[in-house]
């Protein structure tokens, strides 16, 4: 039997008041896949992220995380998700280690396991020597890496990131993008919301969202043909308009 996808979304809709924001959205992401949720401002990416993280109940629609239905087995579903929200949520006046220990404790991890995972995560991010620095002393790129490390402490199967490169300069943006692609190659499923087509790699899955509707779902390499990803995105938005 084939493995259940890390994320399954079926027939999901959401209205903000009388404004339809998501319309019959369906797609899935298997383990080991980097999936970009690509769309212009206002497409509905953040709203969809809020549904996937259980902050909003879809009406109607099904969300399953590693086979756990978000409506019927909410705790089990949430335990399989790591989230990097658009707005940073770290304590700037505490050290890197203290921030990570706090979130490890929130996930119920004992100190010994937590410290081992924190050391491993910082090593992997090339930040081991910064463990005792206060967050305030780090640049934007390093703070973002910290948010990713924090989201992975409880070893989730699915990593959700909402526009994680906003406000970063080009080198930091490409370092974070490459790092998360490597996480997917190592086995986790990734859903990466962005409006920047140049963050996609040829082997990625892309779910193209426009006015709350999935207009395309496929592999970047197959969709772009001989164009750049950015030109393909511009063409796709023109045809969807």
Ligand X SMILES: Nc1ncnc2c1ncn2[C@@H]1O[C@H](COP(=O)(O)OP(=O)(O)OP(=O)(O)O)[C@@H](O)[C@H]1O
194 binds ligand X (CB under 6 A): no
Does 60 sit behind a cis peptide bond, omega within 30 degrees of 0 on the bond before it?
yes
User: In angstroms, how far is CA 65 from the centroid of its own chain?
Assistant: 13
Q: Among residues 2, 18, 41, 110, which is the contact residue for ligand X, using CB under 6 A?
A: 41
Indicate the angle between helix axes 111-124 and 96-106, nearest 10 degrees. 130
145 binds ligand X (CB under 6 A): no
Q: Among residues 21, 28, 53, 205, which is the contact residue for ligand X, using CB under 6 A?
A: 21
Q: Residue length, the chain?
A: 241
Q: Among residues 20, 26, 32, 46, which is the contact residue for ligand X, using CB under 6 A?
A: 46
Q: Among residues 42, 60, 108, 202, which is the contact residue for ligand X, using CB under 6 A?
A: 42
**Secondary structure element (H or E) that encloses residue 7, with its range:** strand 7-16
H runs (alpha helix) in the chain: 45-52, 74-79, 96-106, 111-124, 140-152, 170-185, 220-224, 229-240
Residue 148 has a CB neighbour count (10 Å cut-off) of 20
44 binds ligand X (CB under 6 A): yes
195 binds ligand X (CB under 6 A): yes
- By beta-carbon proximity to ligand X, the closer residue of 19 and 112 is 19
- By beta-carbon proximity to ligand X, the closer residue of 56 and 78 is 56
- By beta-carbon proximity to ligand X, the closer residue of 107 and 211 is 211
- By beta-carbon proximity to ligand X, the closer residue of 21 and 165 is 21
Q: Among residues 35, 43, 114, 197, which is the contact residue for ligand X, using CB under 6 A?
A: 43
CB of 181 to ligand X, least distance (A): 21
16 binds ligand X (CB under 6 A): yes
Only segment of 38-46, 58-66, 120-128, 134-142 that touches ligand X (CB under 6 A): 38-46
28 binds ligand X (CB under 6 A): no
How far is residue 241's CA from residue 222's CA, in Å, rounded to a whole number?
Answer: 22
Cα distances (angstroms) measured from residue 95 to each of 27, 137, 150, 167: 39, 9, 13, 22
CB of 86 to ligand X, least distance (A): 7
**Whether 120 contacts 108, CB under 8 Å:** no
User: Which positions touch ligand X (CB under 6 A)?
Assistant: 16, 21, 39, 41-47, 195
């Amino acid at each position: 039997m084939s493995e259940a996808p890390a994320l399954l979304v079926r027939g999901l809709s959401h209205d903000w008041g009388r404004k339809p924001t998501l319309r019959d959205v369906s797609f899935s992401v298997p383990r080991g896949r980097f999936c970009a949720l690509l769309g212009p401002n206002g497409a509905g990416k953040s709203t969809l992220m809020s549904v996937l993280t259980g902050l909003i109940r879809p009406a109607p629609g099904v969300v399953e995380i590693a086979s756990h239905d978000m409506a019927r087995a909410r705790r089990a579903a949430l335990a399989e998700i790591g989230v990097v929200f658009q707005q940073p949520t770290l304590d700037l006046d505490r050290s890197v280690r203290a921030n990570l220990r706090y979130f490890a404790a929130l996930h119920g991890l004992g100190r010994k396991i937590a410290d081992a995972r924190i050391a491993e995560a910082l090593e992997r991010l090339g930040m081991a020597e910064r463990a005792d620095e206060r967050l305030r002393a780090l640049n934007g790129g390093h703070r973002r890496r910290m948010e990713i490390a924090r989201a992975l402490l409880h070893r989730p199967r699915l990593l959700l990131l909402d526009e994680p490169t906003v406000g970063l300069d080009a080198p930091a943006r490409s370092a974070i993008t490459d790092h998360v692609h490597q996480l997917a190659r190592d086995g986790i499923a990734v859903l990466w919301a962005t409006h920047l087509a140049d963050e996609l790699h040829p082997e990625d899955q892309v779910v193209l969202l426009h006015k709350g509707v999935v207009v395309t779902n496929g592999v970047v390499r197959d969709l772009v043909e001989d164009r750049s990803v950015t030109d393909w995105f511009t063409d796709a938005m023109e045809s969807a308009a």
